[in-house]
Amino acid sequence: MSNEIIKVPDIGSSDEVEVIEISVKAGDRIEEETTLIVLESDKASMDIPSPMAGVVTKVLVSEGDKVKEGSPILEVEVEGADSAPATEPEAAAEPEPVIAMAESEPEPAPAAEAPASVGREEIRVPDIGSSEAVEIVEVAASVGDELAVEDALITLETDKASMDVPSPYAGKLVELVVKEGDKVVEGDLIGYIEVVGAAAPATEAQPAKAASPSQAEIVSAAPTPSAPSASAPAPLANKADTQVSATSGKVHAGPAVRMLARELGVDLTQVVGSGPKNRIVKEDLQNFVKQVMQQTKATSGTVAAGGAGIPPIPLQDFSQFGKVEEKPMGRLLKAGAVNLHRSWLNVPHVTQFDEADITDLEEFRKSVKAEAEKQGARLTPLPFMIKACALALKAFPQFNVSLGGAGDTLIWKEYINIGFAVDTPDGLLVVVVKDADKKSVYELARESSDLAARAQNKQLKGDDMKGGCFTISSLGSIGGTAFTPIVNAPEVAILGVSKASMKPVWDGKAFLPRLMLPLSLSYDHRAINGADAARFTAYLAQQLSDIRKMLL
């Protein structure tokens, strides 16, 4: 056994930085890579991981201390090492600090040379503490968004850290040149922002000055997208909805806390930080999860409602039966699994089955398919279904709601955005056609095939998956007679569509061969009653059976 002193490694700056969090205490057993302390400079927050395993004997710093490279952090008793006295700092393996861009004090926005002018400013990837390309795992803002200084733009992730890159300016995001999955390095272009009060083009070459508070206030007074307030999160990989809430407030937390939050599926904007400058520390996250679990227990009367208390499925050693290989799930698959499980546990599902006679619709569709193609529209049955669902939501607005508050209010939506599931090589994605009720079938055909193609080619923009009111899951081109889709909460209903087939239908005098389309409507029984669900599917079937009705 020997005692080793762990010191601050190279943190990329010779300036002193503040210790804002101490993550261990004397007596703690630590492993290599355990976060010891969190440092914060004006540019970044850094987790300092341990370079060795052992037991902490003494913590040599306090919160608020200023440290730099070489400052002692703590003393560790290392098992198995020879009993030499504390090693020289240089002898200790240098841990690699885990760096996240600080959201608290971003780069200042350029000053207004002419207060009322509008300038187009480049946003580039800042110093991310590494020269290696880093993957963009989330694009949190969309073109058209009004951003405040510090609003998250993109999230980068390495195997060691996740980093939010905040907007250095307040203004309107007018162009995004990156997408999820891209790899970037310092200096790469992220996009352009139209900054009110920024230097006008003629004065752009002049050196930028710090933004004045009043300028920032004027810009951030513009409306920003609000987070959905419904109780349950989206079950399918409708990641953008989570992004809305994730970007709607300033989050002040280190990379380790962010990673833990990501693993637990916690939206950090909902967590109140107790650390310096309202920083969210690990205990805040633990308390938040505890509180949510207790609330679920209180409202349901049983622990099992939120998933807790359900006996886990025991893991088996499958290798005893044959060769196996364990591989990590892809990100999309993992996100989908969490969301689907959450919805399955939270939403009391009922599925209503019906059939629509689409003989005439199909005849009509085939007769105009070539003409539609000339107008750039791929006319599959999907755009007709989108149209029919949009009309059904208009006729039955109780399907266009989300549960609010503690499940005791309903949020009624006055817009009709229809999402549909797309099967991609990486997993399921839900893309959203906005204002579907206001668009023609040709427009819906063009938009839906464009969205599906972009989903399959990983070219979706954040906005493409946001704001859905109702989802269609169409498995019709593949097969099946019926299925029970899981509601894409916080929506309250989802339509599953299976393969149409010819069936003998009795018209009162004879059996006629008709093309019948199976419909499976799953709904949240807290918001919708069974009779309304039956009316809804009957209405849908009517619309699809008589194309003229849809056009009226």
DSSP 416: -
How far does Cα 193 stand from its chain's mean position? Answer: 22
Secondary structure E strands in 382-539 = 401-404, 409-412, 418-424, 427-433, 470-474, 493-497, 501-506, 511-524
Asked whether 110 and 120 are in contact (CB, 8 A), the reply is no
**Taking the CB of residue 300, how many other CB atoms lie within 10 A of it?**
13
Question: Closest separation between CB of residue 447 and ligand CAO, Å?
Answer: 12
DSSP 275: S
Question: Closest separation between CB of residue 346 and ligand CAO, Å?
Answer: 16
Burial, 377: exposed, middle or buried (Cβ in 10 Å; 0-12, 13-18, 19+)? buried
* Closer to ligand CAO by Cβ: residue 229 or 375: 375
Residue 242 and residue 140: Cα distance in Å, rounded?
9
Sign of CA dihedral 315, 317, 319, 320: negative
Question: Closest separation between CB of residue 362 and ligand CAO, Å?
Answer: 8
* Closer to ligand CAO by Cβ: residue 112 or 495: 495
* Closer to ligand CAO by Cβ: residue 400 or 473: 473
* Residue 525 falls in the annotated catalytic set: yes
Question: Closest separation between CB of residue 497 and ligand CAO, Å?
Answer: 5
Q: What is the per-residue burial (b if ≥16 Cβ within 10 Å, else e) of 224-236?
A: ebebbebbbbbbb
* Closer to ligand CAO by Cβ: residue 254 or 381: 381
Question: Closest separation between CB of residue 352 and ligand CAO, Å?
Answer: 16
Question: Closest separation between CB of residue 542 and ligand CAO, Å?
Answer: 17
How far does Cα 310 stand from its chain's mean position? Answer: 27
Question: Closest separation between CB of residue 444 and ligand CAO, Å?
Answer: 10
How far does Cα 182 stand from its chain's mean position? Answer: 16
* Closer to ligand CAO by Cβ: residue 184 or 517: 517
Question: Closest separation between CB of residue 177 and ligand CAO, Å?
Answer: 26
* Closer to ligand CAO by Cβ: residue 78 or 550: 550
User: Cis peptide before 425, with omega less than 30 degrees from 0?
Assistant: no
Question: Closest separation between CB of residue 500 and ligand CAO, Å?
Answer: 4
* Closer to ligand CAO by Cβ: residue 370 or 531: 370
Please choose, from the candidates 126, 94, 108, 100, the residue with its C-alpha nearest in 3D space to the C-alpha of residue 41: 100
* Closer to ligand CAO by Cβ: residue 140 or 441: 441
Q: Which residue is nearest to ligand CAO (CB)?
A: 476
Q: DSSP for 119-153? A: EEEEEE----S-SS-EEEEEE---TT-EE-TT-EE
Please choose, from the candidates 43, 194, 186, 185, the residue with its C-alpha nearest in 3D space to the C-alpha of residue 106: 43
**Residue located via tokens 């490694």:** 9
- Write down the H helix ranges in 375-419: 381-395
Per CB under 6 A, residues contacting ligand CAO are 380-382, 420-423, 428, 452, 473-477, 485, 497, 499-500, 517
Asked whether 48 and 35 are in contact (CB, 8 A), the reply is yes
- Identified catalytic residue from 252, 341, 349, 525: 525
* Closer to ligand CAO by Cβ: residue 215 or 473: 473
Residue 179 and residue 155: Cα distance in Å, rounded?
11
The residues near 159 (Cβ < 8 Å, ≥ 6 apart) are: none
Sheet holding 2-7, edge to edge: 2-7, 72-78, 54-59, 29-30
**Catalytic residue annotation:** 525
